[in-house]
Structure 1
Amino acid sequence: MKYTKATNYALHIMAYFVKQEGKDNLSLQPLANHMNISPTYLSKILTQLVKADLIQSTPGVNGGYSLRKPKDEISFYDVIQAIEGSGALFTCELDESHACHIERVMREAEEKMVTYLKEKRVYDIV
């Protein structure tokens, strides 16, 4: 099981936002410099986090990005789902007339992982 690089960055970005909460809005270029990633790539990640209502974007001279959701409510699952979406990690590709037993085991494992990630808050590691 492997998450994309964007998810890796998004989790680190959200941890940084949680640490900075209450300070001025974070603007794109300083945040890109801090994370050591291109502003273009960072912008794409931030857009997904805005769409997921985890952060908000404020336009203008004093604008930037800030947390939208309370810092103690943001789970690892929230961030991962914002980037990766909600598709199943495993689907049975064999054309079987009965339920795929392998898929059942894999879905059960995925459900346990989702439950765990929903319980873990980004705030807890900061």
Structure 2
Amino acid sequence: MQFAKNTDYALHALVHLANSECEYKIGIKELSNMLDVSESYLSKIMTKLRKDGIVRAVPGVKGGYELSRSASHITFLDVILSTEGRQQMFNCSNSDSRQHTLLTDESNVQIMGKEENLGVCRIKEVMDNAESALHLFFKNHSIQSILDKANKDCNNHLQKERD
């Protein structure tokens, strides 16, 4: 599994915005220079984030981008769903085979929080559970958590230099 490069750029852009949140808004040109990515490519990423309510575009001379909510309320999952889309990671493509019938559990199961009474492929069940766990992991990490860790590392480094 590999995330698209735009997810990487989106996460880094949001960290930059969160880090400068109190000071000023960051224009697309400055942000693209910080990330070493073209303005047009970054604009497409920022448009997705804006449409999903993660950032806000402020027009005018002193305009630019800012977070639309606090960094502690922007999770990695929010960003990934915005940039990667909301499709399932795994789709069982072998549902018509004889082997698939042998791998099917006919009992009620929980899939992505919903009670299902379908013949569920045991392989798909494992993959869906893994996806749910991954979503939970990303939901528990915010842009602010990255800033907090970076600040802690910086403070530890400064403390070691003083000692």
TM-score range, shorter chain: over 0.9
Q: Report the CA distance between 1:122 and its aligned residue.
A: 1.4
Task: Tell me which of 144, 147, 158 is aligned to 1:123.
Answer: 144
CA-based RMSD of the aligned residues comes to 1.1
Deviations, residues 11-37 of structure 1 (Å, cap 9, x unaligned): 111111111111211101111111100
The aligned counterpart of 1:3 is: 3
Between 1 and 2, higher relative CO (CA 8 Å, sep ≥ 6) is seen in 1
Q: Which ranges in structure 1 are unaligned for 5 or more consecutive residues? A: none
Give the Cα–Cα distance (whole angstroms) in 2 for the partners of residues 95 and 75 of structure 1: 35
TM-score, length of structure 1 as denominator length: 0.95
Residues 20-29 or 42-51, more deviating: 20-29
The aligned counterpart of 2:56 is: 56
Give the Cα–Cα distance (whole angstroms) in 2 for the partners of residues 57 and 112 of structure 1: 33
Are residues 1:110 and 2:131 paired? yes
CA contact (8 A) 2:32 2:42 kept: yes
Give the Cα–Cα distance (whole angstroms) in 1 for the partners of residues 32 and 20 of structure 2: 15
Give the Cα–Cα distance (whole angstroms) in 1 for the partners of residues 78 and 69 of structure 2: 11
Q: How many residues align?
A: 126
Give the Cα–Cα distance (whole angstroms) in 2 for the partners of residues 51 and 102 of structure 1: 35
Percent of pairs with identical residues? 34
Q: Which ranges in structure 2 are unaligned for 5 or more consecutive residues? A: 102-118, 148-163
TM-score, length of structure 2 as denominator length: 0.74
CA contact (8 A) 2:50 2:57 kept: yes
Greater Rg by CA: 2
The aligned counterpart of 2:105 is: none
Give the Cα–Cα distance (whole angstroms) in 1 for the partners of residues 139 and 120 of structure 2: 28
Q: Report the CA distance between 1:68 and its aligned residue.
A: 0.5
Give the Cα–Cα distance (whole angstroms) in 2 for the partners of residues 17 and 65 of structure 1: 7
CA contact (8 A) 2:54 2:68 kept: yes
Structure 1 or 2: more strand by fraction: 2
